[in-house]
Amino acid sequence: MNYDFCKIISNFKLKGELVSCVRYGEGHINETYLAVVSDNGAETKYILQKINKNLFQNVDKLMNNIRLVTEHTRKKVAERGGNPDRESLSIVYAIDGKPYYRSPEYDEYFRVYIFITDAVAHQREERPGQFYQSAVAFGEFANMLADFNASELYEVLPDFHNTEKRFNDFKVSLAADKLGRAAGVQAEINFVLEREKYCKSLVNLIKTGQIPLKVTHNDTKLNNVMLDEKTDKPVAVIDLDTVMPGTICYDFGDSIRFGCNTAAEDEKDLSKVNFDIDLFEEYTKGYLSALGKSITPAEKNNLAFGAILMTYECGMRFLSDYLNGDTYFRIRREGHNLDRARTQFKLVSDMEKRFDEMKKIVAAY
């Protein structure tokens, strides 16, 4: 779809004319563009996103969450003497004052963020220490939100990390087998079914109050954090669509899932996909140092398991989407979601073998 970006941008409180607008980043959910606006020759970059309206059915409430969270983080950054436009995600408001713009022509929702300058969202660790810094970033983000009033937040995607529910959804997709794909992926299906026992444990610990609900990010991939392009120091956490009550075991686990993979999330050659325990240690060190004393013993005891669970859950979600006909995660090639599911299951197997070591590492910090 070709959009009239000049017109879309003109509905936001921005000074200048649109010079260019190109697809940007590697997110699976929204459509992200880099927009360059010129004001008398002075160029400023912005992030323009078409919000995934299939997934986010109440954009008004979604964007109200992001407004509340970013107002909070901007205030925290200002209090510590930082630059809120760079060290927090920041909304550019629409002319009508809303934190998004609904285009009547396209019946689509768009939002604009200030571009976080001189920073990179990495797909993987390129220099030693970057993964450590991402852990510090997510730990500090959790700290900033520790005094945020969670009851103000709308639960954008209910049961987002309710693995029990995800398992049931998987079984529904399997039973429907809309495209007749199940027969070709029996090994992957069995991998999921054999591990049903994983699904209940964290859900139950939350239900019984043994693990506290906190305001968490819920999508803590390495490419959802911006690191300084020169120093690799944390700049800001981005992609705040899923900020909701959750547990830090999910946040920790999802970072490990993505960041401790020696290959890409969609690598076809599984011999390249391995769980890197040194990176696990790096992240654990960074995350626990940033969280300090706020972590409870029950949370700490379940961090390593959280990594297995989030990887299993994500693999199950990719496989469900493959069975459903690729309707949720954006795919760029045939079988993309199946490739993604396979990498996740390879990582789960690796982590299962090294679970004792993982627990020892967590206990040591």
Residues that bind ligand GN1 (CB under 6 A): 27-29, 219, 221, 224, 239, 241-242, 265, 314
Residues from 214 through 273 that contact ligand ADP (CB under 6 A):
223-224, 238-239, 241
Residues from 203 through 232 that contact Mg ion (CB under 5 A):
224
Helices 303-324/248-259 angle, 10° precision: 70
Closest CA to 306 of 256, 249, 234: 249
Residue 275 DSSP code: B
239 binds Mg ion per the rule CB under 5 A: yes
3-state DSSP call for residue 34? strand
Give the integer Cα–Cα distance in Å for 43 and 61: 32
- Choose the one of ligand ADP, ligand GN1, Mg ion, none that binds residue 32, judging by a C-beta under 5 to 8 angstroms depending on kind: ligand ADP
H helix count then E strand count, the chain = 13, 11
Burial class (CB in 10 A: 0-12, 13-18, 19+), 67: middle
30 binds ligand ADP per the rule CB under 6 A: yes
Give the integer Cα–Cα distance in Å for 347 and 259: 11
Type of residue found at 349: S
- Choose the one of ligand GN1, Mg ion, ligand ADP, none that binds residue 115, judging by a C-beta under 5 to 8 angstroms depending on kind: ligand ADP
Of the two residues 93 and 329, which places its CB atom closer to ligand GN1 in the complex? Answer: 329
Sequence-ordered list of residues with C-beta below 8 angstroms from that of 41, at least 6 positions apart, any chain: none
Contact 28, 207 (CB under 8 A): no
Contact 346, 270 (CB under 8 A): yes
- Choose the one of ligand ADP, Mg ion, ligand GN1, none that binds residue 82, judging by a C-beta under 5 to 8 angstroms depending on kind: none
In the complex, the smallest distance separating the C-beta of residue 328 from ligand GN1, rounded to whole angstroms, is 7
Q: What is the sign of the dihedral through the CA atoms of 192, 201, 264 and 168? A: positive
- Choose the one of ligand GN1, Mg ion, ligand ADP, none that binds residue 89, judging by a C-beta under 5 to 8 angstroms depending on kind: ligand ADP
In the complex, the smallest distance separating the C-beta of residue 47 from ligand ADP, rounded to whole angstroms, is 4
**What number of chain residues touch ligand ADP (CB under 6 A)?**
18
- Choose the one of ligand ADP, Mg ion, ligand GN1, none that binds residue 265, judging by a C-beta under 5 to 8 angstroms depending on kind: ligand GN1
Of the two residues 32 and 262, which places its CB atom closer to ligand ADP in the complex? Answer: 32
115 binds ligand ADP per the rule CB under 6 A: yes
Which residues of the chain form contacts with ligand ADP (CB under 6 A)? 24-25, 27-30, 32, 47, 89, 113, 115-116, 121, 223-224, 238-239, 241
